[in-house]
Amino acid sequence: MIRLEKVVKEYGGPLARLRGERVRALDGVTLQVPAGAAVGLVGPNGAGKSTLIRLLLGYLGPTRGGVQVGGMLPRDYAERRGVAYVPERVSLPPAWTVGGALHAFAALGEVDRPAERIQRVLRKLGLAEIAGRRVAALSKGNLQRLAIAQALLADRKVMVMDEGTDGLDPEWVARVREMLDEWRHADPERVLVYASHDLDEVERVADQAVVLSEGRVREVVELRGEGPGTAYRLEVEGPDSARRVADAFPGALPVPGAGHAFRVQAANPRDLTRRLGTLVQAGAVLRSVAPEAGSLRERYHQGLARRTEAASRIGDAVDAASASAAEREEGA
Amino acid sequence: MIPILLRGLLPRVLLVALLCVAFFFLEPGFHTHEGGASEEFHLDLGYMGLAATLANLAGLSMLVLLGGFVSNDRRQGYYRLYFSHPTRPVAFYGVRWALGLLLAMAAAAVFLVLGQVVAWGRFEGGWSGLYLALLAAIAYGGMIAFLSVALARGDTWVALVLFLFNIFWLQATSLGLQPLPPLLNDLVSILLPPRLALSDVYDGLLRGEIVWGASAFAAGYGVFWLLMAGLLLRLRDWP
């Protein structure tokens, strides 16, 4: 569905090129996102996430390499099919009202039965009561929800969220996550690209995370399909409870140095609930259970560390070359 | 979408209305009766004389209605959500430009009729003056479209400066002054909105004829910059 082939994107015009001041935002990025996939884009500030997203929407063209969405150039794809897009910085004419903005986007997006759709997204995103409020008077959270509402107005095949839940409270973050899940399951061909600094959220939403740093792909982390299911961190009260964990969760691994905490796996939430029930019935006392957020976080830092190592190797090589040049000069 | 765009244009339409009021006081033809002017003076500055004012009004209205219509969207980032929907930027801004043209022409028509009724107590005619206004609107509309696509900010001010400079330039060239070397002089005359061609069309209208060559040049100037704007809009990255 989405293909990036050795994509290089540099900023700066011909004058900047002459002065050697061009900034390389993406450096040889190759990526394939098949239909039905949800890909997370993670990386530090300036890693190239937003540039990559703008390339996917066709707002920018690559300096070198190729980008295709649905077999077309991204701009052509967006102009013909549309992309459900939630930008990092939501910007709308301040005089527009919430309802008016949705009417405008329904008209731009050639949405069928617009009035019905608008009412549905207004209710879904909790905006019905402020439909007449001007954009200028919206809080960041409400503005973000409006952006999500316009993205959900039409039936699109591709959704791109760039820090899409930024500014939302935890309750709305969870609700949006459910909406994304629902959106994906309504059509198995749908593709989600989700860029965020929140690694835990990416882990919950995406099937795969791409770690970007300094414009390069450092790691591609599979978040689904590794092992029998999702990993959780389970903590129980006292040694008696701890002894019973392995009965309910075969293969449970104690977390070193964390008291009675274990890394356990469950195929799905229903399976997790059943196993926890078994554990409680056996007399164990639970302290906490939470999805294990370690795998992406670990791989993310590994990816960044590799970059640092590479940089320091280059630095060492430069230092060594300078030192030997200096020695040669002295010898001469 | 058009009602939403029109609503967005409302403050600018009010500005155009103010411009109409200002032009009413500036138009000598509307005040010939006040000083007991001669019949010839009335004829010369009468309803056909209004054509020149109509052209200036339509040209300025285009600058007011369309100033920043692309650059502002780029700068503010409004385009991000607009064009994630299946919409071609060229078509979107094309509709906005056409709306601007319609409103500018509507303002000129209202000015023509209402101005005469208020000043002279009756409508004497002069619809053919709208032809000159249309050419001016196309010429200045093409210029502002290109500036708005090409410049990140300040396109309205640049267009206004060019509008005013053009008046000075036409006066200077009509007095035979050549402020610059000949080649540069010709270049500036070609790049500036075609006031000389519009002036030829105006003279033709006073004689009761249409000067096709000058008309084509004036309209062609606007269409050329409009096409350049469309091309640049297609090729340029969005920030």
pLDDT tens per residue, range A86-131: 998 899 999 999 999 999 999 998 898 999 999 999 999 999 999 9
Chain B positions touching A104 (Cβ under 8 A) are: 1, 4
- Edge to edge, the sheet with strand A261-266 lists A253-254, A261-266, A230-236, A286-291
Residues of chain B in contact with residue A132, where contact means CB-CB under 8 angstroms, are none
Average pLDDT over residues B217-234: 96
A-B interface: how many C-beta pairs under 8 angstroms? 74
Closest residue in B to A91 (Cα–Cα): B78
Per-domain residue ranges for chain B? 2-235
Inter-chain residue contact A91 with B76, CB threshold 8 Å? yes
| pLDDT value of position B55 | 93
Nearest CA in chain B to A160: B84
DSSP one-letter code for B151? -
Strand duo A38-42 + A23-33: pairing: unpaired
pLDDT digits (tens, 9 = 90+) for A182-193: 999 999 999 999
Give the C-alpha separation, A103 to A166, whole Å. 24
- Local confidence band at A327 (pLDDT 50, 70, 90 cut-offs): low
Identity of the residue in B7, B85, B237 whose CB atom sits nearest the CB atom of A105: B85
Residues with Cβ < 8 Å from B174, sequence gap 6 or more? none
So what's the pLDDT on residue A232? 85
SS3 content of chain A, % helix, strand, coil (to 5): 45, 25, 30
CB contact under 8 A, A87 and B76: no
- Nearest 5°: CA angle at A117, between A116 and A123? 95
Of B78, B84, B87, the CB nearest to A92: B78
Q: How far is B92 from chain A (nearest CA, A)?
A: 9
Which residues of chain A are within 8 Å of residue B88 when distances are taken between CB atoms?
79
The whole-number pLDDT of residue A310 equals: 57
Q: How many helices (H) and strands (E) does chain B have?
A: 11, 0
Which of these ranges, A69-73, B43-47, B60-64, B222-226, has the smallest mean pLDDT? B43-47
Residues in A touching B81 (Cβ below 8 Å) = 85, 87, 90-92, 105, 147, 150
User: Using beta carbons and an 8 Å cutoff, which residues of A are at the interface with B?
Assistant: 54, 57, 59-61, 78-85, 87, 89-93, 95-96, 100, 103-105, 107-110, 147, 150-151, 154, 160
**To probe the interface with B, which of A55, A91, A112 has the most B CB atoms within 10 Å?**
A91
Q: Which two tokens stand for residue A114?
A: 């617009």
pLDDT, position A318: 52
| pLDDT one-digit tens code per residue, A76-87 | 999 999 999 999
Q: Where are the beta strands (DSSP E) in chain B?
A: none
Question: How many other CB atoms are there within 10 angstroms of residue A115's CB atom?
Answer: 10
| Tokens, residue A70 | 């649905």
Mean pLDDT throughout B56-69?
Answer: 96
Q: What DSSP designation does B127 have?
A: T
pLDDT tens, position by position, A121-162: 999 999 999 999 999 999 999 999 999 999 999 999 999 999
Element (H, E) at A309: helix A294-331
Q: What is the pLDDT of residue A254?
A: 87
pLDDT digits (tens, 9 = 90+) for B122-137: 888 888 899 999 999 9
Kindly report, residue by residue over B145-183, the tens digit of the pLDDT.
999 999 999 999 999 999 999 888 888 887 877 778 878
* Angle, CA B154 vertex, CA B148 and CA B159 arms, to 5°: 65
What was the ipTM of the complex prediction? 0.82
Write down the pLDDT at residue B121: 83
Cβ atoms within 10 Å of A254's Cβ, excluding its own:
14
Residue B117: how many CB atoms within 10 A of its CB?
A: 12
Within 8 A of B79 by CB-CB distance, chain A residues are 59
